[in-house]
Structure 1
Amino acid sequence: MAALISLLAICITATLQFVFPFVESNNGCVTADLIHRDSPLSPLYSPSETNSERFHKAYLRSISRLNNHFNPKAASPEALQAPMVSSGGEYFVNISIGTPRVELIGIADTASDLTWIQCKPCYKCYKQNPPIFDPKESSTSKNITCQSESCLRLEKDRRCDTSRNTCQFYYSYADGSYTTGNVGTEVFVISSKTNPDQGTFPNIVYGCGNNNTGTFDE
């Protein structure tokens, strides 16, 4: 299974705030190659499946999303935010992170406001083919403090390791999946076939998940 990360968006048409919500940047547009989960380029591609089997699975995923969106609990006055579902994603994008770069495959996820990946030390993680990212091996990786603006903007998803004054996050999904770990900054690169280095973004705020469990690898 390839590494799957939660990525807020792919194409920037006005500002990087839409893709990486805690980053300020000049206006511009970055494009990336979207990879459908049933494409031969996808880490989830199964050559043994027939087109009808792929269609049936896509139908079941759509029904699952529909059921979660119209869940009575999610529609209650107490639930002001729509529940997130870690369904593995329909589209992926190639990205790199860190210095030196580590290549990963990200999920195009418009429901999450924080980009996160699996990180070492990994106490409970799902299987992935690329090595799990080790922030200690990257010269550009930094943790952020609990009092930083980026940490405070996580609101209810924010945690704090008071012994180290390190910002942490906890994300739970409607299907019971969850991820938790430190929050830091790192260099991200969004690439495409025509321009592998067109989108290089320093100091991206991201979650470094050390405890991730659920349906992320399905």
Structure 2
Amino acid sequence: MAHLFLFTLLALSSSLPSIFAAHTASLHLRLTHVDSGQPFSSTGRIHRLVQRSHHRRKVLESRLANNSSASFNVLLKASMFDYFIEYSIGTPKLPVTGVLDTGSEVVWAKCQPCEQCDHKGISIYDPSKSSTFSKLPCSSPLYDYQPLKSVSVPKCEYVYVYGSAMINGFLATEMFSLGAESPTVNLTFGCNRLVKGTFSGASGVVDLGQGKLSLVSQLNLGRFSYCLTPFKSSSKSHLLLGDLASAKKASSGEVQSTPFLNATDQYYVAMRGISIGGNLLPIPASVFEYNKEESTGVLVDSGTGQTQLPQSAFDVIKKELQSLVGLRVKDMSKTVGLDLCFGLSSWPPPPLPDMVFHFDNGADMRMPQMNYMFADKRTRAYCLVMRPGQNGDKLTIIGNYQQQNMHIIYDVASRMLRFESTPCESF
């Protein structure tokens, strides 16, 4: 059976059924936030989120532009991703920690011996100690997969760029187990012996994008979903694969659905406008228009912390919030790192109405105050957790801070994004 699964993967055909598909109905995994259990203040955590978001934007822009040129001097000391997932690799099984990413194209692991790898507190996979490891031959067509930048075909190597970071290794197959109740499956993955950049606390990456080497494509997942607990919560978040990734409130009509845009491996959606408290803001729909060649449009991303908007859209939101809050603007760029903050003279901060992102198909992503504002009693900060793009950039990225307490369903088979508000701590 394992040989049949391996043949299915190497055939590179997403139309072939996956052995794993029959087992995904009960697969419910836990996600750990990168700062969970760390001794950071609320302000410290939001500052780290801002730093990661800034770097993450560069990662996505690099991927969208197919740009292999990068400077690999990464100053960010924290991980460039927000959520970890526990799984195991090899025979015997080696428990490892990977980062969840919906914006890349390859599942990979750090492999021994690994140059410039951060080994502190994490397990590094050693292929020489696994009886089920198999290196792909140099003739494999996977080395011609466009996102993998071949640097030495005779040596069967590739380079994959994450903005200002990169990985270098070779392709192989190995047995993976994604959870205690998960079947062991044979995946094609990147075995990396050179990692430049910071992947702190992670042994690798579990990719949920739509490329042919992603987990979604290799396991033929029709859908997956996640539910992210609140920013200040200590509870783990949730990841569901396969049949379990279904709407909880389908019968009540509270589920919103909007189509993914075609002709892209990224999760683009069409956004038509933004409102606050029922007031549709004067932002032209053209600001959010998708254009593949110009890398513009609206991306939904699990790895970006704060939502990032074109400057013109951000300015309209900023003006509206200044009018609603009625407090003086306070420069907290050095301590918090956010672009719009108000200074509080008393506690609690003034209440604000819901903000709504309006998408195609009449889908409305309704966000309460906690999903777009950050309030800290100690520093008296009251800040918008969104930022503008730079240099006329028109890419919009909907970040995970805005996705708190939402069940986000990526219905890949139907090409639909579905979402519903729900308390993720009791999911």
**Which TM-score applies when normalising by structure 2?**
0.37
Please give the residue correspondences for 1:16-165 in structure 2 after superposition, counting only pairs within 5 Å: 25-26=18-19, 27-28=21-22, 29=24, 30-40=27-37, 46-47=38-39, 49-66=40-57, 79=65, 88-153=80-145, 156-160=148-152, 162=154
Q: What amino acid maps onto 1:34 in structure 2?
A: L
Correspondence for 1:10: none
Deviation at 1:210, TM superposition (A): 0.8
Distance 1:216-1:178 versus aligned 2 partners, 3 A rule: same
Distance 1:115-1:74 versus aligned 2 partners, 3 A rule: closer
Q: Secondary structure at the match of 2:29?
A: coil
Number of aligned residue pairs: give it: 178
Tell me the percent identity: 29
1:170 to 125, 139, 159: 159
Deviation at 1:156, TM superposition (A): 4.5
> Does the aligned pair in 1 maintain the 2:166–2:195 contact within 8 Å?
yes
Q: What amino acid maps onto 2:174 in structure 1?
A: E
2:190 to 201, 207, 218: 207
Relative to its length, the structure with more helix (as a share) is: 2
**Which TM-score applies when normalising by structure 1?**
0.68
2:181 to 197, 201, 206: 197
1:73-119: per-residue Cα shift (whole Å, max 9, x none)? Answer: 888xxx35799999521111001000011111110012221111111
Q: What amino acid maps onto 1:200 in structure 2?
A: T
Distance 1:36-1:130 versus aligned 2 partners, 3 A rule: closer
For the pair shown, the structure with the greater C-alpha radius of gyration is 2
In structure 2, C-alpha distance between the alignment counterparts of 1:138 and 1:184, rounded to whole Å: 12
In structure 1, C-alpha distance between the alignment counterparts of 2:34 and 2:140, rounded to whole Å: 37
> Does the aligned pair in 1 maintain the 2:147–2:160 contact within 8 Å?
no
Correspondence for 1:5: none
Distance 1:189-1:152 versus aligned 2 partners, 3 A rule: same
Q: Secondary structure at the match of 2:50?
A: helix
In structure 2, C-alpha distance between the alignment counterparts of 1:186 and 1:158, rounded to whole Å: 21
Q: Secondary structure at the match of 1:119?
A: strand
Q: Secondary structure at the match of 1:104?
A: strand
Q: Mind listing any 5+ residue stretches in structure 1 that lack a counterpart?
A: 1-15, 41-45
In structure 2, C-alpha distance between the alignment counterparts of 1:156 and 1:38, rounded to whole Å: 30
Deviation at 1:150, TM superposition (A): 3.1
Deviation at 1:185, TM superposition (A): 0.3
Deviation at 1:153, TM superposition (A): 2.9
Q: What amino acid maps onto 1:25 in structure 2?
A: S
> Does the aligned pair in 1 maintain the 2:56–2:80 contact within 8 Å?
no
Q: Secondary structure at the match of 1:112?
A: coil
Correspondence for 2:171: 183
C-alpha RMSD of the superposition: 3.3
Q: What amino acid maps onto 2:175 in structure 1?
A: V
> Does the aligned pair in 2 maintain the 1:146–1:152 contact within 8 Å?
no
Q: Which moved more, 1:116-125 or 1:106-115?
A: 116-125
> Does the aligned pair in 2 maintain the 1:83–1:173 contact within 8 Å?
no
Q: What amino acid maps onto 1:51 in structure 2?
A: S
Correspondence for 1:43: none
